């Protein structure tokens, strides 16, 4: 028996490859399926099943392409109703893979079809639990995503999740290994650990949700502090449920190379967003006016989903040379399949052609420390509220990046302001969006709050509610 966790850090997502005696199964595969095909070929096994723990909201799964490529049957838990051929398992149904067995445990709560898959080894022993979004390490799945589809409130779904955990998961032995679908950084939970594998026994000790005294307290605990889900979540659910374009087709279309003239014409004649994926430092020195910067070397796909929202949005790409395919791939993982093409030669070709460029006024933290007066100057902190509450620049305003579409209009271009995040990644995204909206009278701080702290700028952990502006 072989179990391999295939973890994708930028999505904080875990897919699983399981093989035994010439057969294999994949659990919650990513959109691009070639890595699973390569593993199966290397091990000389046939992929027999593709198990889906639920209809994912934060990424587009590769179940359809993988089934088409291998003939493997797609398996969902009870109550799932996909618009393609699949096995809708019953609670407790078992599936054989070589010498091992996968048992379906229906665990509604995160979504109604949510299920965990219990692996029973060659000796008949419960070995591991592939817990999907039902049970994370340190947390449980958020119960607010399926309210409309289930015609239930988040409290009612949380109650179902409590029942699922207490009747299906908690009775399992402490030595059962837990393999969750997500880890820290995913928007599918709020308190996930950085580890990606643990024993159920340890989770019974350390997971706050598993240590609530009763259902009422559990519901309060898991629903407290939930932030609104990213706007693209519902669209990804629909794609996973209804079907989608083949990844190979999406990649082929997105890899179209455009000259400067063609790129400019496409930008002028379509409603495409120009997405620049270079790092913040390079972007600040020069970029195509009104382009949006979301660096590929960060939480790229989730931020694209959170800020662009509409997966049908046409996109024109600016990337570092050689990163075109990786960028199209990452966009496809969250359902953004409409990449028109990328600029041949990257931004440098635009610059060499003598086209108009824009820049961001980026300053060092030391320069910020020398010139800022926190009692009179406006300082905008685009980190999450929880980060701001821990510590922030004295008298600064908290305007989280994911809410920028609701607060950018408040920024009066007549009064200069400063903007920062934790390390410079998010503040450059914000800077590009502000500039695209015609707001230019600001300075972005390189290195973010980390560098600001080292520069000795006055800080506080006191919460002034008037500064927590998240309208």
pLDDT at 84: 97
Q: Which residues pair with 107 in a beta bridge?
A: none
Cα separation of 219 and 212, whole Å? 9
Write the burial class of residue 4 (CB in 10 Å: 0-12 exposed, 13-18 middle, 19+ buried). Answer: middle
Give yes or no for residue 459 having a pLDDT over 80.
no
pLDDT at 468: 56
Least reliable range by pLDDT among 13-22, 178-187, 194-203, 455-464: 455-464
pLDDT at 427: 98
Mean pLDDT of 53-67: 96
Residue 231: which pLDDT band, with cuts at 50, 70 and 90?
A: confident
pLDDT at 467: 61
What digits encode the pLDDT tens for the residues 166-188? 999 999 999 999 999 999 888 88
> Which domains occur in the chain, in start order?
2-234 (3.60.15.10), 245-352 (3.40.250.10), 362-467 (3.40.250.10)
> Which 8-state DSSP code applies to residue 149?
H
What digits encode the pLDDT tens for the residues 25-44? 999 999 999 999 999 999 99
pLDDT at 128: 98
Of the two residues 130 and 188, the one the predictor is more confident about is 130
pLDDT at 470: 42
Identify which of 89, 170, 102 has the alpha carbon closest to the alpha carbon of residue 134: 170
Q: Which residues pair with 105 in a beta bridge?
A: 116
Average pLDDT, the chain: 94
Cβ-defined contacts of 241-244 (< 8 Å, 24+): 241/55, 241/81, 241/82, 241/83, 242/82, 242/83, 242/84, 243/64, 243/83, 243/84, 244/60, 244/64, 244/335, 244/337
Model pTM score: 0.90
What residues contact residue 155 under an 8 Å CB cut-off, 6+ apart?
Answer: 143, 219, 223
Determine contact, residues 50/73, Cβ cutoff 8 Å.
yes
- Taken as a whole, the chain contains a residue count of 471
Give yes or no for residue 466 having a pLDDT over 60.
no
Handedness of CA 429, 434, 440, 443 (dihedral sign): negative
Write the burial class of residue 41 (CB in 10 Å: 0-12 exposed, 13-18 middle, 19+ buried). Answer: exposed
For residue 104, the surrounding DSSP H or E stretch is: strand 100-106
Determine contact, residues 78/88, Cβ cutoff 8 Å.
yes
């Amino acid at each position: 028996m072989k179990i391999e966790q295939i973890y994708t850090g930028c999505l904080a997502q875990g897919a699983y490859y399981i093989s035994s005696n010439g057969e294999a199964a994949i659990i919650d595969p990513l959109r691009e399926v070639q890595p699973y095909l390569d593993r199966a070929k290397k091990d000389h096994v046939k992929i027999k099943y593709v198990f889906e723990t639920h209809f994912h909201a934060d990424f587009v799964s590769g179940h359809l392409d993988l089934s088409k490529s291998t003939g493997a049957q797609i398996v969902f838990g009870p109550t799932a109703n996909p618009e393609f051929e699949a096995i809708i398992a019953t609670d407790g149904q078992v599936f054989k893979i070589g010498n091992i067995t996968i048992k379906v445990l229906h665990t509604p709560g995160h979504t109604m079809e949510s299920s965990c898959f219990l692996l029973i080894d060659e000796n008949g022993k419960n070995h591991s639990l592939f817990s999907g979004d039902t049970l994370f390490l340190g947390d449980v799945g958020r119960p607010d995503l399926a309210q409309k589809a289930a015609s239930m409130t988040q409290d009612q779904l949380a109650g179902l999740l409590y029942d699922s955990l207490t009747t299906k998961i908690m009775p399992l032995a402490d030595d059962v290994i837990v393999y969750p679908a997500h880890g820290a950084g995913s928007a599918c939970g709020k308190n996930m650990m950085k580890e990606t594998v643990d024993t159920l026994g340890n989770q019974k000790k350390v997971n706050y949700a598993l240590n609530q005294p009763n259902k009422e307290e559990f519901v309060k605990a898991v629903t407290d502090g939930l932030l609104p889900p990213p706007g693209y979540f519902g669209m990804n659910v629909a794609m996973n449920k209804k079907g989608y374009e083949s990844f190979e087709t999406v990649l082929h279309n997105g890899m179209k190379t455009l000259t400067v003239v063609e790129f400019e014409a496409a930008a002028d004649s379509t409603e495409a967003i120009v997405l620049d994926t270079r790092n913040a430092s390079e972007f600040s020195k020069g970029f195509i006016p009104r382009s949006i910067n979301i660096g590929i070397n960060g939480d790229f796909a989730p931020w694209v989903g959170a800020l662009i929202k509409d997966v049908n949005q046409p996109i024109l790409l600016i990337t570092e040379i050689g990163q075109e395919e990786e960028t199209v791939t990452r966009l496809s993982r969250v359902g953004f399949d409409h990449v028109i093409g990328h600029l041949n030669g990257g931004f440098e070709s635009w610059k060499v052609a003598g086209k108009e460029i824009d820049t961001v006024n980026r300053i060092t933290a030391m320069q910020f420390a020398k010139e800022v007066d926190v009692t009179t100057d406006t300082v905008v902190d685009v980190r999450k509220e929880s980060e701001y509450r821990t510590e922030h620049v004295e008298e600064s305003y908290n305007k989280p990046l994911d809410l920028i579409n609701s607060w950018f209009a408040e920024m009066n271009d007549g009064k200069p302001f400063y903007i920062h995040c934790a390390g410079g990644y998010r503040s450059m995204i914000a800077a590009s969006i502000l500039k695209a909206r015609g707001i230019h009278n600001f300075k972005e701080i390189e290195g973010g709050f980390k560098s600001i702290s080292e520069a000795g700028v006055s800080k506080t952990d006191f919460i002034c509610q008037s500064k927590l502006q998240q309208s």
